[in-house]
Amino acid sequence: MRKQLATTRLVLLGTAGGPTPKRFRSAPASAIVIGEDVYIVDCGNGVARQMAIARLSAASLRAVFITHHHSDHNADFGNLLLLAWAAGLTDEVELIGPEPLGSMLKGFFEIQREDIAIRMADEGRPSLTELVSEHEVNEAGVVYKDENLVVTAALVNHPPFRTALAYRFDSADRSIVFSGDTTRSPNLISLAKGADILVHEVIYHPAIDALTSHSNAPRLRQHLLGSHTDVTEVGSIAKEAEVKTLVLNHFVPADGEVDERTWLEEARRGFDGKVIVGQDLMVI
């Protein structure tokens, strides 16, 4: 019998962790695609271009979810909205994430005030500011609902942020959970319970020393070890959450220092389910 493809697709747009531009992986961003509708989780630099390469129409954007305000996760949230609008966006988009998202959006609209005004007058476009509605989320619970899906957030542990979020997307045929950036998190494990797919961040401790061999090394090393999850831990997290598939994401380091086999073998510890080493533009 022919295997039926899931209606809800997960597209990994950018799988690197950290703010510096990388050669082999783009900055954090993922898409959930249901029919023509596109939902974006995190907006690292280049998200709109990655969507174009993945043949996802920016004009089909329904909602954008930001996990936390490190720049590798939010650098392009404004650009994504602006470029989606330039690509023909006419329907409302919801922007969801921790405070101070509202003032950040206002600031972005101010930066691009002239472009927005000129395109409205010169190209007859609708008002971008009226198309975007923002919703600050600072606690756990349902944060978004439409005819395709329900999205639930949980608070995870990514110090020194007061609010860092994980998101669970439940559609008619699939449940997909994004860890965001976090250490091993009981809240995430509860959120992900029984999900089809857990997309989890990973760092690789042995490679961190090489990565932090420059001037701000001690502080950076401390941050990486105290705010993220080592790849050897994610298998037990996936097992405890009883998910079917674990997708590795937000690789640190991300520029080819650790080979795919190492990521896979370390992540498999203690987990019998399927493990996928995420790659940019992978469709799951």
Binding site for Zn ion (CB under 5 A): 70, 181
Q: Would strands 132-136 and 93-97 be described as parallel, antiparallel, or unpaired?
A: parallel
Nearest to Zn ion of 70, 200 (CB atom): 70
Contact 72, 180 (CB under 8 A): no
How far apart are CB 117 and Zn ion at their closest, in Å? 34
Nearest to Zn ion of 44, 235 (CB atom): 44
How far apart are CB 67 and Zn ion at their closest, in Å? 8
Nearest to Zn ion of 82, 97 (CB atom): 97
How far apart are CB 74 and Zn ion at their closest, in Å? 10
How far apart are CB 18 and Zn ion at their closest, in Å? 8
Nearest to Zn ion of 104, 116 (CB atom): 104
* Separation CA 144–CA 135 (nearest Å): 9
Nearest to Zn ion of 12, 252 (CB atom): 252
How far apart are CB 37 and Zn ion at their closest, in Å? 27
